[in-house]
Amino acid sequence: MDLLNTLVDKGLRRELPTREEALAVLATSDDDLLDVVAAAGKVRRHWFGRRVKLNYLVNLKSGLCPEDCSYCSQRLGSQAGILKYTWLKPDEASEAAAAGLAGGAKRVCLVASGRGPTDRDVDRVSETIKTIKDQNEGVEVCACLGLLSDGQAERLREAGADAYNHNLNTSESTYGEITTTHTYADRVDTVQKAHAAGLSACSGLIAGMGESDEDLVDVVYSLRELDPDSVPVNFLIPFEGTPLAKEWNLTPQRCLRILAMVRFVCPDVEVRIAGGREVHLRTMQPLALHLANSIFLGDYLTSEGQAGKADLEMIADAGFEVEGTDQVTLPEHRAATAGGGCGSHESAGCGSHESAGCGSHESAGCGSHESAGCGSHAEGGVCGTAAAAAPANEPRTDLVAVRRRGAGTDLAPNA
């Protein structure tokens, strides 16, 4: 297919595809899907080899957010039965982070619900960052606290933060349809503040909220212009009790096409599969590793994900390898200029989480929601009760499970 050959050539040169080419990727048929994955996989392997970076979410403060983001289980007025608790103490957060690091994660994403941090909140998170870094050598830390005020990004950087996550989520033209308590411009401003402070910027999107192909291309092109080091791609988890509870618009094939389009437009950045991969990609998750080079390990902010052990087995079985702490995530030309301490590393941030970014928070981890996954799986990674014979394109509400373990509980995390 001439389109794919052209996109591979452009991806290897870091050349921006045309909007028409990006839209054409989303319009490809299921018959052409493996060709699309193979083409985008060439670009992914050129810049990132067969490495998969693991990230781990710690939800520092869950629920009770004053923002009205429609996709978020922590939003104002949410009826979702999620965990609600105030700030974890630094030692509690460090203990939670250690579980993910022991499972192979090299970056910890610290997320707190809310519009944005107060100066006191920044002090609290700064202490948490220092505690985690003192107790876990070589760890990267990404903060995801919502909209930043002047000077706050610099203070987080001074405390040792390597990155900051704040997702754009959707196109500027449709942003007002999903959130009214802040603007798209507010989000752009926070990403720019993180960049300016020397933090590695992490910003991504949420797919599946009823947006058009044009909306998806718009937000990915806007992200390319902002030039974050990491782009989390979240797939909406329609939580009961939220305005988007009935938005089941994604198929595994659609998710793969979206990831391929993001890779072609952002060839040399860390593309992370964030919230919703277990729910929407399901058994196609291994194919997605040919497109993205980063995932979250275990559970998300307010929902359960695939068991950490199953994540590691999936990576190995698909012929990929977990990226070590001694390896640099980003290509050399980006690593040299990546903001922040990412030290050797990288970029990534939260993402997302889930589904949404971390940020304003969305629900999920860095993402809006999390991914939700199968809780029942804590041990095995497959949803035991999942309907193996479920009709195609039917909502898989059986795969959405609220997190009941890990941070904010007395139960061990799923790392």
255 an active-site residue?
no
342 an active-site residue?
no
| Choice among 51, 65, 144, 263 that is catalytic | 65
| Choice among 75, 115, 202, 266 that is catalytic | 202
| Choice among 51, 72, 255, 350 that is catalytic | 72
374 an active-site residue?
no
| Choice among 109, 266, 342, 383 that is catalytic | 109
| Choice among 115, 187, 263, 272 that is catalytic | 272
| Choice among 69, 342, 350, 383 that is catalytic | 69
266 an active-site residue?
no
65 an active-site residue?
yes
Count Cβ atoms below 10 Å from residue 2 Cβ, excluding itself.
Answer: 6
Residue 325 CA to residue 100 CA, distance in Å, equals 13
| Choice among 51, 75, 115, 142 that is catalytic | 142
Catalytic machinery residues: 65, 69, 72, 109, 142, 202, 272
